Amino acid sequence: MRRVSIVGIGSTQFRPETPEKNFKELMYEAASRAYIDAGIDPRKDLDCVITSSEDLWEGVAIFDEYVPDQLGGVLKPVFTVGGDGLHGIIHGYMLIKTGYFDLVAVEAHSKASEIEDIDKVYRFALDPIYIRPVVDQPHGLAALEMMNTMRLFDITYDILDMTIMKNHLNALEWGSTYARIFDYENIEASEYIAQPLREVDISPHTDGAIVTVLASEEKARELTDDPIWIDGVGWATQSGRYERMLHNPPVALNTAANKAYEMAGIENPFKELDFAEVDDRYSFREPASLSMLRLDGGNLMEMVSEGVYTLDGELPVNTGGGFLGNGYPLEAGGLMKLLHAVKQLRGEAGSNQLDDPEKALVSTRREIPSSSYAVVILSR
Amino acid sequence: MKMNINFKNRVACVGAGMTLFRRRLQETPDELMWLAAKTALDEAGLTIRDIDCIVFGTAPDNFDGIHMQSEALADGGGAINKPYTRVFVGGGTGVFSAIAGWWHVASGLCKRVLVIAEEKMSHVQPHPQYLFHHIFDPVTEKPLGVNLIWIFALEMHRYMYKYNISKEDIAKVSVKNKRNALDHPAAQLGAEITVEDVLNSEVLVWPVQKLDISPVSDGAVAIVYTDEEGAKQLTDEPIWIEGVGWSLDTMYWTNRDLAFPTYLYYAGKMAYKMAGIHNPRKEIDFAEVYDPFDYKELHHMEGLQLARKGEAPILTREGVTERDGDLPINPSGGLLGVGNPIAAAGLMKVAEVFWQLRGEAGRRQVKKDVVTGLAQAWGDLMQVGTVIIMRR
């Protein structure tokens, strides 16, 4: 069976505002970097281009039509996934697996700063009859989810505080505009947005674009000596009704992860993985994801307090600082995590570099009120 | 039968189902999806538990007035704790979702895939055309107050001018498709009309008249794919997916010659190569080409190399594209007759090819014996062509 690899990745900086560039220019910048990184000419070499987006983030209908020019995809197979960038990666993976495609580019971006009232867009995602009239902004729903998650997984504020401090610390290396050095006093001073959700628990939005180039095994051998392999992928959606999901653990993440583990031949993920990049759109999502991904060793509190998930620990998590440290780039979230993982595996992570990592997991969840998860296992 | 040597995993279509196509259906979008999925699964002899992955297609997000529409509709498609994804390429989404379903199985990742396309246009007030205003470039085009009919009038005009085509010849497509649709049990606008009726109908944007256009519709369609092994267990008559292709042109449509759909030529080339077809006009037995406007059927036939440039109106005039002709085009009645719930209309074409190849199309069955069929859709800013080729 032919394997699929990542041969190029490029991104813009992630910043709260990018007034000097429009979304096409952001995409172009990331794409140029990715194509140079992979050593390809998109017009000649690319077989397919995939973008991940939703119309309402972009402020236009049928966003798909705006993408081919700046990605070098004119008169090529190009399409858009209504999902996270990691869903785009999964589609690219499948395309290459069919045997008909050799080189696929996957793009996702965020121009959150241009959305006039982002809370209104979130509200627009809610059921128009039952939920929209009673929910003012998405963090209210996140607070309900937090309450339930803390109960289900025995998560305490101590765990959350340590997660927040860790991720911000990790993000400093990436030059993130949001990263800062926290102590408990800073965190305690943080205000409640909707109890129990504090301001520090929320990842702020950021702008940026990422492009990844996937290649089949033969093509990858031509292009590079050290491709990053995609060993397994999994994706699942729990339900379309947020109110129904609130009271249940995120089992779809488990479904997605199991599929990916099975494909990658992983039986004991905690032992076999060297690090993981998991969803931390809200601070409580990281420990909950770790539990559902079977990466908590049975005792979350012990693991966190022993520093297992820090850079020096046994299983570093969010080595790039995650969304808490870097900001949340809407549908590019999954690709931001993938970027951090690829940099680690290639040994390009600067002072965050782990000691010779071989296998990594990347997982993400789409924005509220979605329950679509995607998991990708990478190896060197 | 030709074997496709390009693929390790062959993909078979084993079931298809659809709802009525109507304006202002009472069902919610979720319910439409469920109805279509249920009929398709019943026909395949499966239940939702047997399905590994679900692919959902819908064109613009905004018809339902919900952001992240695919997520909101997950339950209707049975995507409860299952792999589920939405793909889109504007109006080409219907056929494209079938293409996406193909690679789910062809990659070896999924064994049984349910593909659903749904569109509910009628609850956009005052008219869905207002929504299409937002597909244009917000800086250079939107201020002109354009909508879709405008730009298609430009395209139609250019096509008529370049190949010296008369309105009468184009109107024949509308007459044929609406007549074909009379035999379709789900059709919205089946009718016996004449060329004069089309030419005397209300002018919307010259040269586009009311009967040149497909209606606003609601509806959903679903199909079921399995891998080769699964298909052999389920049915004696699987229909194989032999080729897929799609291509997206630049968004700057003002810089293109609108007389010929280059994107579709590329998409067709990709699909023909995959299916090992060298002479489409001879090897394709019948086709469901995208016909939201009557001239588009002719335009697309030329893009797909089923007719030479400027030849499609002549074929239509000579009756070659009738159901009993040599190259039946849109035996279902197409979008002009059956209705145009955008993504669902595209998948309806795939379903029709499936039924025709199985010989299950009832009164719509084409006269000649058919082995290879093609379905095609088109979308975005006159920009994307999506093609799928199926064989018995």
Q: Which of A62, A74, A81 sits opposite B87 (nearest CB)?
A: A81
Q: What is the DSSP string of A279-312?
A: --SBTTHHHHHHHHTT-STT-HHHHHHTTTTSTT
- Say yes or no: A237 contacts chain B, CB-CB below 8 A: yes
| Spatial contact of B305 and B281, defined as CB atoms under 8 Å apart | yes
Q: Compute and round to an integer the Cα radius of gyration of chain B.
A: 19
- Which residues from B are below 8 Å from A122, CB to CB? 67
Q: Give CA angle at B325 (B321, B327), nearest 5°.
A: 55
Which chain A residues touch B267 with a CB distance below 8 Å?
77
**Contact assignment for A122 to B67 by CB distance below 8 Å:** yes
Task: Give the pLDDT score at B98.
Answer: 97
Please give the Cα distance from A40 to A37 (Å, whole number).
Answer: 8
When pLDDT is averaged across residues B76-95 and rounded to a whole number, the result is 94
DSSP string, B164-224: T--HHHHHHHHHHHHHHHTT-TT-SS-----HHHHHHSPEEETTEEGGGB----EEEEEEE
Q: What pLDDT is attached to residue B1?
A: 37
CA-based end-to-end distance of chain A: 18
Provide the CB-side half-sphere exposure for B125 (13 A, CA).
Answer: 0
Residue A160: count other Cβ atoms within 10 Å of its Cβ: 23
Q: What confidence score (pLDDT) does residue A280 get?
A: 94
For residue A202, what is the DSSP state?
Answer: B
Nearest-Cα residue of chain A relative to residue B62: A61
Q: Which residue of A has its CA nearest to B380?
A: A65
Q: Can you name the residues that pair with B120 across neighbouring β-strands?
A: B218
The per-residue pLDDT for B7 is: 65
Buried b / exposed e over A288-305, threshold 16 CB at 10 Å, is bbbbbbbbbbeebbebbe
Q: What pLDDT was estimated at residue B17?
A: 97
Q: How far is B373 from chain A (nearest CA, A)?
A: 21
Core vs surface per residue B357-373: b (16+ CB within 10 A) or e = bbeebeebbbeeebebb
SS (H, E, C) A61-77: CCHHHHCHHHHCCCCEC
CA distances from A136 to A127, A329, B187, B206 (A): 13, 22, 42, 47
The whole-angstrom distance between residue A307's C-alpha and the CA centroid of its chain comes to: 23
Residue A150, pLDDT above cutoff 80: yes
Q: Which residue among B66, B76, B138 places its CB closest to the CB of A128?
A: B66
Greatest alpha-carbon span in chain A: 57
> Which of B31, B56, B107, B110 to probe the A interface (max A CBs under 10 A)?
B107
Lowest pLDDT segment from A61-65, B19-23, B163-167, B192-196: A61-65
Percent of chain B exceeding pLDDT 70 equals: 98
| Least reliable range by pLDDT among A239-248, B51-60, B227-236 | A239-248
Residue B58's φ and ψ, nearest 5 degrees, are -150, 145
Q: Has residue B2 got a pLDDT over 70? A: no
Tell whether the model's pLDDT for residue B60 goes beyond 90: no
Q: Which residue has the tokens 């296992």?
A: A377
Chain A and chain B share a number of CB contacts under 8 A equal to 199
Q: How many CB atoms lie within 10 A of CB A267?
A: 9
Q: Please list every residue in chain A whose beta carbon sits closer than 8 Å to the beta carbon of residue B7.
A: 98-100
Could you tell me the two tokens for B371?
Answer: 């082995």
pLDDT at B123: 87
Q: Provide the β-strand partners of residue B38.
A: none
Q: What is the H or E stretch that residue A155 is in?
A: none
B292 Cβ contact list (under 8 Å, min separation 6) = B91, B213, B214, B335, B336, B340, B345, B378
For residue B251, give the nearest of A65, A238, A366 by CB distance.
A65
- Flag if A76 and B84 touch (Cβ within 8 Å): no
Q: Residue B341: is the preceding peptide bond cis (ω within 30°)? A: no
Could B135 and A252 be called an inter-chain contact, meaning their C-beta atoms sit closer than 8 Å? no
Q: Which residue in the set B79, B135, B249 is minimally distant from A60, CB to CB?
A: B135
Q: Check residue A104 and give its pLDDT.
A: 97
pLDDT at A103: 96
Chain B interface includes A367 (CB < 8 A)? yes
Who has greater pLDDT, A135 or B15? Answer: B15
How do residues B107-125 score in pLDDT, each as one tens digit? 999 999 999 999 999 988 8
At B217, list the tokens: 């519709």
SS3 state of residue B18: strand
Select the residue of A82, A100, A234 nearest B86 (Cβ to Cβ).
A82
- d(CA A145, nearest CA chain B) in Å: 17
Separation CA B320–CA B363 (nearest Å):
19
Residue closest to B267 by CA, chosen among B147, B58, B95: B95
State the Cα angle at B20 between B14 and B21, rounded to 5°.
110
| A139-165 mean pLDDT | 93
Could you say which of A60, A78, A82 has the minimum Cβ distance to residue B70?
A82
Rounded to an integer, the average pLDDT of B331-343 is: 95
- Whether residue B41 is predicted with pLDDT greater than 60 in this model: the reply is yes
In this structure, of A174-178, A224-228, B236-240, the range with the lowest mean pLDDT score is A174-178
pLDDT at A134: 86
Which distant-in-sequence residues (6+ apart) come within 8 Å of A210 by Cβ? Answer: A9, A10, A11, A12, A30, A34, A85, A107, A108, A109, A329, A332, A335, A336, A338, A339
Nearest CA in chain B to A122: B67
Of A142, A122, A106, A113, the residue nearest A56 (C-alpha): A122
CA dihedral angle for residue A245, residue A92, residue A122, residue A330, rounded to 10 degrees? 120
- Per-residue pLDDT, A184: 86
Q: Mind telling me how many Å the CA of A131 is from chain B's nearest CA?
A: 12
- Look-up of token digits 């439409």: B32
Q: Is A22 on the interface with B (CB under 8 A)?
A: no
pLDDT score, position B128:
87
- Bridge-based pairing of strands B286-288 and B372-379 is parallel
- What's the pLDDT band for B6 if we cut at 50, 70, 90? low
Beta carbons of A259 and B248 less than 8 Å apart: no
A251:B252 CB<8 A: no
pLDDT digit string (tens) for B345-365? 999 999 999 999 999 999 999
CB contact under 8 A, A60 and B107: no
Please give the ipTM for the structure prediction. Answer: 0.95
CB proximity A283 to B under 8 Å: no
B80 contact residues in A (CB cutoff 8 A): 237-239
Mean pLDDT of chain B: 93
Work out the average pLDDT over A335-349: 95
Chain A CB contacts of B109 under 8 Å are 94, 97, 233
Domain residue ranges in chain B: 11-126+214-391
Q: Does A127 touch chain B (CB under 8 A)?
A: yes
Residue type, B346: G
- Asked if B300 contacts B343 with a C-beta cutoff of 8 angstroms, the reply is no
Mean pLDDT of chain A: 93
Give A131's pLDDT tier (boundaries 50, 70, 90).
confident
Classified by CATH at the fold level, domain B11-126+214-391 comes out as Peroxisomal Thiolase; Chain A, domain 1 (3.40.47)
pLDDT digits (tens, 9 = 90+) for B253-289: 888 999 999 999 999 999 999 999 999 999 999 999 9
Q: Lowest-confidence range among A16-30, B24-38, B139-153, B175-189?
A: B139-153
pLDDT at B65: 84
- Is the per-residue pLDDT at A308 higher than 50? yes
**Residues paired with residue A79 on neighbouring β-strands, in sequence order:** A50
Task: Check A259 against B83: CB less than 8 A apart.
Answer: yes
Measure in Å the smallest separation between the Cα of B201 and chain A Cα atoms: 30
Model confidence band, residue A173 (pLDDT cutoffs 50, 70, 90):
confident
Q: Which residues contact B75 (CB under 8 A, 6 or more apart)?
A: A239, A240, A241, B30
At CA B168, angle to CA B167 and CA B171, rounded to 5?
85
Taking the C-alpha atoms of residue B86 and residue A332, their distance in angstroms, rounded to an integer, is 16
pLDDT digits (tens, 9 = 90+) for B144-181: 988 889 999 999 999 999 999 999 999 999 999 999 99
- For chain B, the straight-line distance linking the first and the last C-alpha, in angstroms and rounded, comes to 8
B330: alpha, beta or left, given left = phi > 0 and alpha = psi -120 to 50?
left
Question: For the residues B316-332, what does the mean pLDDT come to?
Answer: 96
Q: Say yes or no for a CB contact (<8 Å) between A99 and B266.
A: no
Name, in order, each residue with C-beta under 8 angstroms of A250's C-beta and a sequence gap of 6 or more: A238, A288, A289, A292, A365, A371, A373
Task: Give the residue from A22, A47, A79 with the most B CB atoms within 10 Å of its CB, the best one to mutate.
Answer: A79
CA distance A313 to A322: 17
Q: Across residues A333-340, what is the average pLDDT?
A: 96
> How far is the alpha carbon of B139 from chain A, nearest alpha carbon, in Å?
11
Asked whether B329 and B289 are in contact (CB, 8 A), the reply is yes
In A50-69, the residues whose Cβ lies within 8 Å of chain B are 54-56, 59-62, 64-69
Q: How far is A33 from chain B (nearest CA, A)?
A: 21
Separation in Å, CA of A246 to nearest CA in chain B: 14
Cβ-nearest to A77 among B74, B246, B383: B246
Residue B5 has pLDDT above 60, yes or no: no
User: Is any Cβ of chain B less than 8 angstroms from the Cβ of A366?
Assistant: yes
- Nearest by CB to A252, from B69, B81, B248: name it: B81
Please give the helix or strand (H or E) that residue A235 lies within, else none.
strand A228-237
Beta bridge partners of B2: none
Tell me what pLDDT residue A138 has: 82
Average pLDDT over residues A247-252: 89
pLDDT of A24 > 90? The answer is yes
Task: Give, to the nearest 10 degrees, the angle between helix A85-97 and helix B93-106.
Answer: 60
Longest dimension (CA), chain B: 57
- Predicted local confidence at residue B61, as pLDDT: 78
Pinpoint the alpha helices (H) of B262-311.
262-275, 280-283, 294-303
B249–A68 CB contact, under 8 Å: yes
Q: Which helix (H) or strand (E) covers residue A249, if one does?
A: none
CA distances from A175 to A292, A352, A353, B65 (A): 30, 12, 15, 39
Please report the pLDDT score of residue A127 as a whole number.
87
Tokens of residue A211, six digits: 């492009």
When pLDDT is cut at 50, 70 and 90, the band that residue A340 belongs to is very high
Amino acid (one-letter) located at A356: D
Q: Which residue of B has its CA nearest to A248?
A: B81
Angle formed at CA B59 by CA B54 and CA B63, multiple of 5 degrees: 110
Q: How far apart are CA A69 and CA A51, in angstroms?
A: 12
Which residues from A are below 8 Å from B247, CB to CB?
75-78
Does residue A379 register a pLDDT over 60? yes
- Binned at pLDDT 50, 70 and 90, residue A209 comes out as very high
Q: Could you report the per-residue pLDDT of B286-318, keeping only the tens digit for each? A: 999 999 999 999 999 999 999 999 999 999 999
CB contact A137 to B (< 8 Å): no
pLDDT at B3: 47
For A363, list phi and psi in degrees, rounded to 5: -140, 150
Q: What's the CATH number for A4-116+206-223? A: 3.40.47.10
CB contact under 8 A, B379 and A62: yes
Residue A1: what pLDDT? Answer: 64
Spatial separation of the C-alpha atoms in residues B392 and B386, rounded to whole Å? 21
Q: Taking a C-beta distance cutoff of 8 angstroms, is the pair B76, B32 a contact?
A: yes
- CA of A237 to nearest chain B CA: how many angstroms apart? 5
Residue B336 distance to chain A (closest CA, Å): 22
